[in-house]
């Protein structure tokens, strides 16, 4: 049995995966704040998962953990996971002594990409585009996660697509993330509310001019990311996931309209059939935790295969 | 012995490659115009190459040919090679009966990418960015050419980086190719001259305002392509080649200045060390013909390995 965890800013999703690839159990817990509480959450989630399917924790073969922030290649050290209150944490060092099971750590977007690929039938290559506070993608080619030379593959959020666009917190103007990142949209909207991007959509529907600009920017940023991913890596499928995709059909309608506009203007863009390549990750999908489980169980972490 | 040809708009470069990867001979011929003359050029180049190293043509093990235009995946059919006067040509059908050696065909930019990778020591992943009439890249990862799901991997020329930029012949605005393509620059410059991009550089140096805009646009388009390739595929090296790179240091100085400006504005961009990843393909490099030879000799064309 292999276990995978997706440690998110509010909740942690844990799955147990049988050798045949089927999910045997799943639990969700609130995520603690700060390095110690995050490590505690990981131990608690594994314990609860083992209990829920009636196995001893020690019989788990491997644990993979997807986390926001930067994971130093080849290590289990996470840095700058700001949404978790973690500046630096060696997760394996913190939890392996208690769990007694080998732990691997991967960036959550990369883990979700591998999991989305494993859950998808038919894709030979896929980009998973995460639309959350920030924007980043994970790319899977022939079942293999493409990490790149220095681990920045898929960082499409910081590609500028408009030199006169809004200032990005990275310092450039018109980055895809400055247009389509939930954090950037909330900052520019600058009104109180639990779900600022949803508020922007509602206000745009009600005719608010600033909301319309922000909503249009979101759609054009997502469409730009899709174009970048297809024109550079030529993945056959782009799966959208992350918090903003809770807007589901409203978001997809805007993105489809953007892609249709460029297809109408350009026979070349039309030939790429971008609209048919974009899909939404289903709400509640265990993709990220499943991908983490696959990474945890891979013989060689650089060769983590999605199937088998 | 394997043979590789790079069939360009004006000349055809042919190399003979020994089993140990060393180049045993090289000839260059003027390229004919139209399908029949192009096929004739291929036969003549192979014949001249065999003569030059004193071998029988029939002892050649394989022939790979890089050509501009679209090569239908898995076939030897080239379409829309406008610079060769070729609307459609099945090259293997045209030349194999006379040559008696199996022929494979690949897009010239993809072939050059594989050849540039083979000639480079130290790169684990590389994008070859061709700056010619158009702009396109070939991506090599771990020695393997990344073709993508539908053969459009590396088509970064048609990523828009400025919604208010110049109209591209593809129908979009502000495409990288509309800024950095030799064809687009010549069209906007609209003055007679054998080397319009060089003329633009000279006129910009002399203070011509329009030339300065075009020259700045070229540098910003190339820098944008480098950013897209590194942020999406995270290749460790981007090699620039193609006709425009004859401008060598003048072009590289402009591109370096563009990359330095974004590094100065953004700590994130600075961390990518883009300036250190960009290199110029040496003038007269046999990369494209060598890459074609490697593709011609690969056991499985989808698995063409650059080394060995």
Size of interface A-B (CB pairs under 8 A): 142
| Mean pLDDT in residue range A179-192 | 96
What share of chain A has pLDDT > 90, as a percent? 87
The string of DSSP codes covering chain A is: -EEEEEE-SSEEEEEEE-TTS-EEEEEEEEPPSSHHHHHHHHHHHHHHHHHHHT--GGG--EEEEEESSEE-TTS-EEEEEGGGTEEEEEHHHHHHHHH-S-EEEEEHHHHHHHHHHHH-SS-SEEEEEEESSSEEEEEEETTEEE--SSS-TT-GGG-BS-TTSPBPTTS-BSBHHHHH-HHHHHHHH----S-HHHHHHHHHHTT-HHHHHHHHHHHHHHHHHHHHHHHHH--SEEEEESGGGGGHHHHHHHHHHHHHHHHHH-HHHHHTTGGGGEEEPPTT--HHHHHHHHHHH-SSGGG-BS--
| Mean pLDDT in residue range B140-165 | 93
Chain A contact set for B144 (CB, 8 A) = none
| Mean pLDDT in residue range A4-13 | 96
**Mean pLDDT computed over every residue of chain A:** 94
**Chain A residue closest in CA terms to B127:** A232
Cα distance between residue B306 and residue B113, in whole Å = 10
A235 and B148 within 8 Å at the Cβ level: the answer is yes
Q: Give residue A255's pLDDT.
A: 98
pTM for the full model?
0.94
The string of DSSP codes covering A152-175 is: -TT-GGG-BS-TTSPBPTTS-BSB
Region label for B142, one of left (φ > 0), alpha (ψ between -120 and 50) or beta (otherwise) = left
A232 and B235 within 8 Å at the Cβ level: the answer is no
What share of chain A has pLDDT > 70, as a percent? 97
Report residue B307's pLDDT band, with 50, 70 and 90 as the boundaries: very low
Report residue B303's pLDDT band, with 50, 70 and 90 as the boundaries: low
Which residue has tokens 């935790």? A289
Q: Give residue A147's pLDDT.
A: 87
pLDDT 10s digits, A63-88: 999 999 889 888 999 998 988 999 99
Cα distance between residue B275 and residue B256, in whole Å = 6
pLDDT 10s digits, A273-301: 999 999 999 989 999 999 999 999 997 75
Which residue has tokens 């050419």? B145
**Mean pLDDT computed over every residue of chain B:** 94
Burial class (CB in 10 A: 0-12, 13-18, 19+), A270: middle
Q: How far is CA B184 from CA B131, B254, B270, in A?
A: 11, 18, 30
pLDDT of residue A306 exceeding 50, the answer is no
User: For chain A, which residues make up each domain, given as ranges?
Assistant: 2-112+285-303, 124-235+243-280
Decide if the complex's ipTM is over 0.90.
yes
pLDDT 10s digits, B72-128: 888 999 998 988 999 999 999 999 999 999 999 999 999 999 999 999 988 889 999
Chain B contact set for A231 (CB, 8 A) = 152, 155-156, 158-159
pLDDT of residue B261 exceeding 60, the answer is yes
B149 and A228 within 8 Å at the Cβ level: the answer is no
Q: Domain A2-112+285-303: which topology?
A: Nucleotidyltransferase; domain 5 (3.30.420)
Mutate to test the interface with A, among B232, B265, B278 (most CBs of A within 10 A): B232
Nearest to A234 among B125, B150, B265 (CB): B150
More confident residue, B124 or A119: A119
Q: How far is CA A28 from CA A11, A49, A103, A110, in A?
A: 7, 9, 19, 20
Cα distance between residue A105 and residue A39, in whole Å = 12
Q: Give residue B304's pLDDT.
A: 52
Nearest to A171 among B229, B235, B267 (CB): B267
Report residue A308's pLDDT band, with 50, 70 and 90 as the boundaries: very low
| Mean pLDDT in residue range B279-298 | 96
Nearest Cα neighbor of A280 from A307, A244, A305, A306 is A244
A269 and B154 within 8 Å at the Cβ level: the answer is no
A233 and B159 within 8 Å at the Cβ level: the answer is no
Identify the H or E element spanning B14. Answer: strand B11-17
Report residue A151's pLDDT band, with 50, 70 and 90 as the boundaries: confident
Chain B contact set for A156 (CB, 8 A) = 231-232
Span A124-235+243-280 CATH architecture: 2-Layer Sandwich (3.30)
pLDDT 10s digits, A11-60: 999 999 999 999 999 999 999 999 999 999 999 999 999 999 999 998 99
pLDDT of residue B191 exceeding 80, the answer is yes
pLDDT of residue A304 exceeding 80, the answer is no
Report residue B301's pLDDT band, with 50, 70 and 90 as the boundaries: low
Q: Which residues contact A192 (CB under 8 A, 6 or more apart)?
A: none
């Amino acid at each position: 049995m292999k276990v995978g965890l997706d440690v998110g800013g509010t909740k942690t999703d844990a799955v147990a995966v049988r050798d045949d690839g089927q999910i045997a159990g799943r639990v969700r817990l609130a995520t603690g704040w700060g390095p110690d509480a995050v490590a505690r959450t990981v131990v608690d989630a594994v314990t609860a998962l083992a209990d829920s399917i009636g196995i001893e924790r020690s019989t788990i073969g491997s644990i993979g953990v997807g986390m926001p922030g930067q994971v130093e290649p080849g290590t289990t050290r996470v840095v700058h996971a700001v949404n978790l209150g973690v500046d630096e944490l060696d997760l394996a060092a913190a939890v392996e002594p208690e769990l007694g099971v080998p732990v691997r750590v991967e960036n959550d977007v990369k883990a979700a990409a591998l999991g989305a690929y494993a859950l998808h039938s038919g894709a030979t290559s896929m980009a998973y585009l995460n639309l959350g506070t920030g924007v980043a993608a994970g790319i899977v080619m022939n079942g293999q996660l493409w990490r790149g030379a220095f681990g920045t593959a898929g960082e499409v959020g910081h590609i500028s697509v408009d030199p006169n666009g809004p200032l990005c917190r990275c310092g450039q103007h018109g980055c895809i993330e400055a247009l389509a990142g939930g954090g950037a949209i909330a900052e520019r909207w600058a009104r109180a509310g639990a779900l600022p991007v949803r508020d922007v959509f509602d206000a745009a529907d009600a005719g608010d001019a600033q909301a319309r600009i922000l909503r249009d920017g979101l759609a054009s940023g997502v469409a730009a990311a899709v174009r970048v991913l297809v024109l550079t890596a030529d993945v056959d499928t782009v799966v959208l996931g992350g918090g903003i995709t809770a807007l589901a059909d409203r978001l997809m309608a805007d993105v489809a309209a953007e892609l249709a506009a460029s297809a109408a203007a350009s026979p070349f863009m039309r030939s790429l059939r971008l609209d048919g390549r974009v899909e939404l990750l289903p709400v509640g999908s265990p993709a990220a935790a499943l991908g983490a489980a696959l990474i945890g169980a891979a013989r060689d972490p650089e060769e983590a295969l999605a199937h088998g």
